[in-house]
Amino acid sequence: MLELLMALWPLFALILAGQAMRRAQFPSDTFWPGAERINYFVLFPALLFNSLATAPLDNPALPRLAVAVLLGLGLAWLALLLARRLFGWTAARFGAISQGVLRFNTYLGLAMIGSLFGAEGLGLAALMLALMVPTVNIMSVWALTAERGLSLRTLLLPIIKNPLILACLAGVLINLSGLGLPGGSDRLLGLLAAASLPLGLLCVGAALQPKELRGEVPSLGWNSVLRLLVMPLLAWGVARGLDLPVMETSLLIVFFALPTAPTSYVLTRQLGGDSQLMAGIITLQTLLAAASLPLLLVVLGV
């Protein structure tokens, strides 16, 4: 437990530092939107591209992990659809609730995996992201537009324009081509990648909106329980059922135990969802994850 805490506390310290800097208006309120954009469109895609361009795509773990990811997300999605029918949620509300359950904070996830499992874990995690990011994006758009009729353009446009998905595809293509990363380009990408996770965690902290925690307290609470407790237990059950090895089980549990993605707020606003509820969900889950993640990882044997 102590070793796990030593690996994780610097990550949450960066998140809290981001919130403190935002409250102190340092460097300024105009800094954070630009920092988020450069990280989302340049630095973080560089990390994913670099990891996938050099990852062993013949890893025998990939088919097992793909089945585990799709099975876990599929079961959660079916449960959400049944809950929507039972409780009669509008698309605006269902979109926020679904993203609170299905999406995950990629910055925190890769920072955790890098601290716990090193380069081997990061390579495998990048391959998982190549599958998980498009899947949860499709589910999220579907949930937010359920009452307006779903067109192929509405569903696929956010996926096609997503820089993380494009970076994953480009990295895989370079890997398959056998070209590698010549002429020092691997060093360049490594430098960009090294900046992405610290800046991303600071931006996560700066984006937290504690004032939204005064809203729908019961909804925020049970949504956080589903994401931070039920989802990792589901991942553990899927991993046990498929008899996954330790490393793959650990990665699956970590991704299913992460708090929801801050970018959920942007998508919710763009598609007319309940952005106030979404902001509260993001904030509460991120704060609770500081306690839930180390406890869960110890209890489940990660």
Is the pLDDT at 179 greater than 70? The verdict is yes
What DSSP designation does 215 have? S
Tell me the pLDDT tens digit for each residue of 234-292.
999 999 999 999 889 999 999 999 999 998 998 898 888 999 999 999 999 999 999 99
Looking at the whole model, is its pTM more than 0.75? yes
Return the percentage of the chain with pLDDT > 70, whole number: 97
Token reading at 56: 């062993």
pLDDT at residue number 120? 84
State the Rg of the chain over Cα.
18
Q: Across all residues in the chain, what is the average pLDDT?
A: 91
Q: Residue 261 carries which DSSP code?
A: P
Q: Tell me how far apart the 2 most distant CA atoms of the chain are, in Å.
A: 58
- Confidence category of residue 4, pLDDT binned at 50, 70, 90: confident
**Amino acid occupying residue 151:** S
Tokens, residue 123:
């390579």
Neighbours of 238 (CB within 10 A): 23
Q: Are 126 and 63 in contact (CB under 8 A)?
A: no
Asked if residue 55 lies in contact with residue 119, where contact means CB atoms within 8 angstroms, the answer is no
Q: Taking 70 as the threshold, does the pLDDT of residue 177 lie above it?
A: yes
Total residue length of the chain? 302
